[in-house]
Amino acid sequence: MPNSKIGGHYSQAYDEELQQAVVRLLQMAALAQQQLDDAMAAFIGADTELAQQVKDFDRKVNNFEVDISEHCLDILARRQPAASDLRLVLSVLKAINDVERIGDLAKRIAKALLKEEQGNRPQQSQLDEIAVMGQKVRLMLQRALAAFEQIDAENALAVLREDKAIDDDYARIMQHNLSMMMNDARQIAISLQISNVAKALERVGDHARNICEHTIFLSKGRNVAHLSDAELQQVVDKKRD
Amino acid sequence: MPNSKIGGHYSQAYDEELQQAVVRLLQMAALAQQQLDDAMAAFIGADTELAQQVKDFDRKVNNFEVDISEHCLDILARRQPAASDLRLVLSVLKAINDVERIGDLAKRIAKALLKEEQGNRPQQSQLDEIAVMGQKVRLMLQRALAAFEQIDAENALAVLREDKAIDDDYARIMQHNLSMMMNDARQIAISLQISNVAKALERVGDHARNICEHTIFLSKGRNVAHLSDAELQQVVDKKRD
């Protein structure tokens, strides 16, 4: 793993253990992203076979979570890491929690398709809207993970700010859905499925945002959950003591 | 704090630090439970003033999370805990994450009332249904926290199993809502608010379930996320090595 910020201990085995935690987190994240891509492709393309596959593969993401969590606990127990090593292990523990939830949300999107009544599909405009939101969320997630891998607090903050646009997309889709339901009762069931998918994507955005917060914590040593935008900027601008 | 399972170190200061982590978690949880009670009372009784208060007090729960998280990180860095002490600190770190989300969900319930159009209230049968679900969730959460405080894996497993009944309540309310919307378009907006509240309660149940999993981890030393019911029973029945 190319990140030179991790390691540098007398014990090479210890360095490798720390790097393995990050490598496996990124593998887990790659799998969760694939699940999300497949879930969105299945939903948009009405591909029930692919949706079923997403549902069945959720266990793989879960298995990763258990493995990585045990690896991290083992490091904590045997190596008793301090300072930036401790932050790294804790950040990985937090991040796997978010990635596991993203896997769950991909499954929820797949299930939204599987629950649709045969032949009763959303309108093209609804599918287009949700596809655009899905791409935005997907890109945010990818950037959040890249910033984590690079332990880059500046980039993490930039990505974190993208969550606002996703929340706006969500609000717009919900508004659109509401008026469709009001106008035509036959649209209710299908609009609720669209709402479910939009909500799942909005939550993926929240988890991508959490991953950015973990990156800032890892880089700057400050827990930044619940800080205002201005406070976040201050933390990121500050040089480490 | 009365729990005799925590502590017993040569350093009394260290014992106190560990107990403080749990004491503060329970204080945080008491606040989140109060928020949830107030949110449900506000929603059922259409008390917008109380709902506004829940919305404003969310920050208090968040502040607790940041404080306790720093306290735990400080213990990890200075005391380098091992074995059951390490599990205790990690379990508190995980549990505050769940409690913080419960505070968020209480806020979401309060906001559902604040978004209602003036005078457009759910029907009494809808309110009754959601009130019953709310009480069930509330009791489950209280029992989950008691099992955590007592580090009681058997009770934690019993409480964890209650989540199924809550998921069933949720499915029933959603089904009921759907037919109300289908029958009368004027019910759509208000039924969506009921759905939001039901979803929030269902998520509180999930977080109570997570807290039970942390208790089993704390007591038995096994990460039990994603295990089947039979596997959970095995872990709980097993004596610690």
- B99's tokens: 């409690």
For residue B44, give its domain range.
Answer: 12-237
Q: How many angstroms separate the CA atoms of B144 and B158, rounded?
A: 9
Least Cα separation, residue B77 to chain A (angstroms): 5
Q: What is the pLDDT of residue A1?
A: 46
Please compute the mean of the pLDDT values over residues B212-239 and round it to a whole number.
95
User: Within a domain: residue A166?
Assistant: yes
The predicted-structure confidence for B34-73, as pLDDT tens digits, reads as follows: 999 999 999 999 999 999 999 999 999 999 999 999 999 9
CB contact under 8 A, B70 and A97: no
Residue B130's nearest CA partner among B58, B31, B34, B46 is B46
User: Within a domain: residue B7?
Assistant: no
Suggest the residue from B192, B210, B216 to mutate for an interface test with chain A (most A CBs closer than 10 A). Answer: B192
Least Cα separation, residue A9 to chain B (angstroms): 17
Q: What is the pLDDT of residue A11?
A: 83
B99, pLDDT greater than 70: yes
Q: What is the CATH number of the domain that holds B135?
A: 1.20.58.220
- B37's tokens: 């009670």
CB contact under 8 A, A86 and B76: yes
Residue A114 sits at the chain B interface (C-beta within 8 Å): no
User: Within a domain: residue A5?
Assistant: no
User: Within a domain: residue B1?
Assistant: no
Q: What is the DSSP letter of A187?
A: G
Tally of CA atoms within 13 A in the half-sphere of A206 that contains its CB: 14
- For residue B1, name the pLDDT band (cuts at 50, 70, 90): very low
A2, pLDDT greater than 50: no
Residue B62 sits at the chain A interface (C-beta within 8 Å): yes
Mean pLDDT, chain B, whole residue set: 93
Domain count, chain B: 1
User: Within a domain: residue A131?
Assistant: yes
- Helix and strand tally (H, E) in chain B? 8, 0
Q: Which residue has the tokens 């917008």?
A: B48
Q: Is A11 exposed, middle or buried (0-12, 13-18, 19+ CB in 10 A)?
A: exposed
Q: How many angstroms separate the CA atoms of A134 and A175, rounded?
A: 17
- For residue B240, name the pLDDT band (cuts at 50, 70, 90): low
Q: What is the pLDDT of residue B10?
A: 74
Neighboring chain A residues of B80 at a CB cutoff of 8 Å:
80, 82
Suggest the residue from A65, A76, A115, A186 to mutate for an interface test with chain B (most B CBs closer than 10 A). Answer: A76
